[in-house]
Amino acid sequence: VLGWRVAASVAWSVLLLPLCTAAFISISSIDLLHPIQWISNSFNDWYTSYAIFCMLLLSVVILIISIFNVEFYAVVPSIPCSRLALLGKIIHPRQVIHSAVHAIMGMLVAWCAAVMTKGKFQFLAVPCTASESLDGAVQHMCLNEYHLFLLLSGAFMGYSYSLLYLVNNMNYLPFPIIQQYKYLRFRRSLPALVKHSCVESLYLVRNVCVAYYFFGYIPRAWISATTDLHADSKLHPLDTLTGLLDLSLLYHTWLCGIFLLITWHIAWLLFKIYATEAHHFPVQPTFTEETDQCLPKILNSNPPLIIKFLALQDLMLLSQYSPVRRQEVFSLSQPGGHPHNWTAISKECLNLFRDLTQKLIMQQEAAATNGRVKQPSAGEPPQAAVSEEMSFQAQRSNVSRAHMPSLVKSSLLPLKTLSTSDLGSSFGSPFSSPALNRQAGILDLNSPWHGSVQSPHVMRRGPKLWTSSSDLQMNGSHQESFPVISVARVGNEAIQPSFIYTWLQNKQEQVRSFLSKRVLIMYFFSKHPEASIQAIFSDTQMHIWALEGLSRLVAASFTEDRFGVVQTTLPAILNTLLTLQEVVDKHFKLPHASSKPPRTSGSLMDTSYKTLRFALRASLKTAIYRITTTFGEHLNAVQVSAEHKKRLQQFLEFKE
């Protein structure tokens, strides 16, 4: 699916390169006082041998840039939750290679720009203005610092592009909400691309001048020592204010930056447009060999993420615009009469919703546990406190198990291990939260999902840099592989900490307290709450498509499902959606959760991933309303829990 799209985007990037090169040649030699001569000279420069050679070299540069776009793309953005995480991404070996290659490619683009500009920028070695030979017959060659400045500015701009590529998540592929033709998407983005390149080039020229003012003598001295070319003593060096205040130098450096950014951004934009184009997956195979390419098979397998995103996007589109393909989803297999297509699609959608529910529960437990520690009272021994907590948990479990939804009961079991990027923390490290460590199979009796928040032994504590396993043992949250066994063991025998253990704990607490007061340490290690929340919802675009597709299929089944295949899974769908909506509502009530989406700037860089959680909340509520308005009072016959029946009634009465 992706191979021909990459080839098409690279081909169009190379085909558009001559237009960009011709525009650069014309603007670099602009002469408004003699327009006819300017146009004539521009036409002559387009067909010269050095211009053709530069276009061939630039085509190779575009090909290399496109290869890096393909290798570094992601449909789920990587959001660093702290400054230390961002610094780790910058110095990662993969990113270092990306930056080094882009710096070299930027130098090649600057060399081509200098050659095509001609004049004083064309060559590195130029005749000296005054010969130092005794007889004056031999003409000495001097270092052309203008050419060197353009080369270094190209390398600096290439590295800056790579750095901004990482910081602005330019490798993220946002899928369009409204499907348009590729040409219309490119034409709509082209003015913003040109404007962004012009403005960005101004900032890069400023940064280049500042860097060259302080460090320009280093590459100049190295080039002079290597090539035996010395700077012309009759000219001002460019690492001075007089040398940098050359309008011609600043103008051509700015044009060079615009040329570099426009050509690279065009390759990046075309790859995004082609990669995110909707793809049609067949619901039923025409031949046996096409089984692996069908929509139900792809959704239930583990394809590359971009293929799964395209499949869920196709599910959303077919559920909304294609009655014929909807009939294929509702059809029965022959022979046998089993709804394999509907079962596979609904199963994958429900699994996505359950995974998201579990991830949000873990995040809410982490937020609750970060500020609470359960401690026994002064006259109560630890064993009694644990026994009382266990009996309370047993009573609560026996009372609530009868009417608890199946999904919520499953969420109380040890959850599936999540990736560290989902929660913005790493397990096993001294900076991980105790709630995050429970993903290895550790239950916390103080969790709000286990009903002990109202305990009289709950108190607030100050923030810590990290929570170690020893702290969890002292506070009642035991890190064991099998929590039931560990709690039973603690309940039967009281563990008295030794003197060495207590001394080590006190020292560790002192170190933590010392580090938490250091501003520089907290500057790098402190996590940004908004970034952490964005990281949790970074992959919810596929959940939004699954909500749209599944709810539209359920609504369409009211009139199009001739065999009643949807009715068998309708209770599970309603229970899952209502449970997810309850968890999402609880998330937006957390202290650091914003209730309003941030404003989008409308720039070239896409920031839609920052508002995915708000889109998920709206899509979830819309999906439930879509089902309730279609089925109406018929939903009263669906078997759901008493709590979900009350919630469903609110949707039926439009009170939610």
Q: What is the pLDDT of residues 568-620, one digit of tens each?
A: 899 999 999 999 999 999 988 887 777 677 676 667 888 888 889 999 999 99
Q: Is the peptide bond before 335 cis (omega within 30 degrees of 0)?
A: yes
pLDDT at 370: 61
| More confident call, 209 vs 118 | 209
To which residue do tokens 């700015």 refer? 254
pTM for the structure as a whole: 0.77
Q: Which of 266, 160, 149, 249 is nearest to 203 (CA)?
A: 160
Q: What is the pLDDT of residues 422-479, one digit of tens each?
A: 434 344 333 444 444 444 444 444 444 444 333 333 343 444 433 433 343 333 333 3
Percent of all residues in the chain with a pLDDT value above 70, rounded to a whole number: 78
Query: Concatenated DSSP letters for 248-314?
Result: HHHHHHHHHHHHHHHHHHHHHHHHHHHHTS-----SS-SSGGGGGGSHHHHHTS---HHHHHHHHHH
Task: For residues 420 and 437, give the distance between their C-alpha atoms in angstroms, rounded to a whole number.
Answer: 11
pLDDT at 505: 85
Residue 366's CB is within 10 A of a number of other CB atoms, namely: 23
Most confidently modeled range among 348-362, 451-465, 523-537, 586-600: 348-362
To which residue do tokens 């327009």 refer? 35
Q: What is the mean pLDDT of residues 179-187?
A: 92
Distances (CA, A) of 254 to 25, 190, 358: 14, 19, 51
Q: Which of 123, 140, 122 is nearest to 131 (CA)?
A: 140
Q: What is the mean pLDDT of residues 258-277?
A: 96
Task: For residues 255 and 14, give the distance between their C-alpha atoms in angstroms, rounded to a whole number.
Answer: 20
Residues across the chain: 656
Rounded mean pLDDT of the chain? 80
Give yes or no for a contact between 374 and 452, defined as CB atoms under 8 angstroms apart: yes
Give yes or no for a contact between 186 and 273, defined as CB atoms under 8 angstroms apart: yes
Q: What is the mean pLDDT of residues 4-17?
A: 95
Q: How confident is the model at residue 639 (pLDDT cuts 50, 70, 90)?
A: confident
Task: For residues 388 and 580, give the distance between their C-alpha atoms in angstroms, rounded to a whole number.
Answer: 32
Q: How confident is the model at residue 481 (pLDDT cuts 50, 70, 90)?
A: very low
pLDDT at 109: 96
